[in-house]
Amino acid sequence: QAHYDILRRKYPFEFRGKMVRPSVWVEGEADISPEASVFGPTVIGEGCRIASYATVSSNCVLGPGCVVEEGAFLEGAVLHAGCRVGADSVLRQCALSSGVEIGERVHVSDHAVIGGAVKVGEDNEFRHGIRVWPGNDIPPSTLRFLTN
């Protein structure tokens, strides 16, 4: 909740870096494809890369060195340093600790938290506030939630 409040300017806070678009701050150099969509409020750390056709929507924080691959969608996501989000993955209202690797077509939402250095194989789904402890490897197509 704290990062949402700061991004929405509920509290006085001076973001480091420069505003490159309305309510989008980049600290240092970042590689943002011209074909990527980035909307504020969002903070992007030094050395991040956002690939073509990726979308970083409102209320996102990308720590230094994060990579968002082609076609990925982020909204309300907090990524600590060195995270990688695979192609066509969706992250909504979630947090990734440092060094997390998310495979292709993974969905992380509903306040899920992924611990540091976790590797998530493709085609997994994390919802309902699920927590994954640091250092785990989740094989491809292991976790899915049934819908009502």
Task: Using the predicted structure, report yes or no on whether residue 9 has a pLDDT greater than 90.
Answer: no
**Is the whole-model pTM more than 0.85?**
yes
How far is the CA of 109 from the CAs of 13, 77, 84, 122, 145, in angstroms?
27, 9, 16, 15, 12
Task: Using the predicted structure, report yes or no on whether residue 1 has a pLDDT greater than 60.
Answer: no
Task: Using the predicted structure, report yes or no on whether residue 33 has a pLDDT greater than 90.
Answer: yes
- The predicted pLDDT at position 148 comes to 54
Task: Using the predicted structure, report yes or no on whether residue 130 has a pLDDT greater than 80.
Answer: yes
d(CA 29, CA 17): 9
Phi and psi at residue 6, in whole multiples of 5°? Answer: -65, -45
Task: Using the predicted structure, report yes or no on whether residue 140 has a pLDDT greater than 70.
Answer: yes
- The predicted pLDDT at position 144 comes to 86
Q: What is the mean pLDDT of residues 55-66?
A: 96
Are 81 and 99 a contacting pair, CB within 8 Å? yes
